[in-house]
Structure 1
């Protein structure tokens, strides 16, 4: 039976000589008999290396690593989501945004916390909340965006 592995972690290049493509090539080079489907590598500068850096320990806190990777969500300026606004999901139901939250383990990763019509509370990554509908997967979707601001809320923010 085939298996899939999700690999996660951080690699520190103390000399700053490598780039993301080289890391992918190095990590992928010893996949004997495995197919590299996708390896996502982000790159960030951490300044001058210091042996006392918290990144120098096997059990370093993930937050120490993650603080160098501020998520940049591509968002149109007119697609800012605010608490209290009501949106229509492309499948037809409406949701009310309760809060915009930041992940404590991944600073810079934001989520939209919202309440559905049935009272259920969910969260979704900010980037996905403001993203366009995948019209290949959902060819009958009439909306451009996954969640669109309801007209009554648009008038109040204008």
Structure 2
């Protein structure tokens, strides 16, 4: 006959093995989840970039003698990819400079570090392309000059 102590030790050992198996599975799933998130992020960026390039090419064909720069004068916010357009609209409605962490909930994203950092990257790209200004680090406003100027009409 098996003693109660031996039975408990056997059950404990089996439970420990199961925990270790599940931890190993969870670690593998976490790696696969991170890879899937990276794939999704790359695809989102690719789609946004293609949409932007096509919009710029379309606008350039419509008005071939428009000024120089990354985004021709006369473009409206409607040519921006949806996420970028939402960001510009939030900033246009703000009474003053806005931070990425303030924009994220207003465009319907969860306020996680990843979403805030992703939005900050988009804000920086909008600054590079002349849609926004960043006079103080992390504080974004509509551009006073360049492509983002006169784009408060979002229809």
Q: Same fold (TM over 0.5)?
A: no
Shorter-chain TM-score category? Answer: under 0.3
Instruction: Report the structure, 1 or 2, having the larger helix content.
Output: 2
Which of structures 1 and 2 has the bigger CA Rg? 2
TM-score (normalised: structure 2): 0.22
Instruction: Report the structure, 1 or 2, having the larger strand content.
Output: 1
TM-score (normalised: structure 1): 0.22
Q: Which has the higher contact order (CA 8 A, sep 6+)?
A: 2
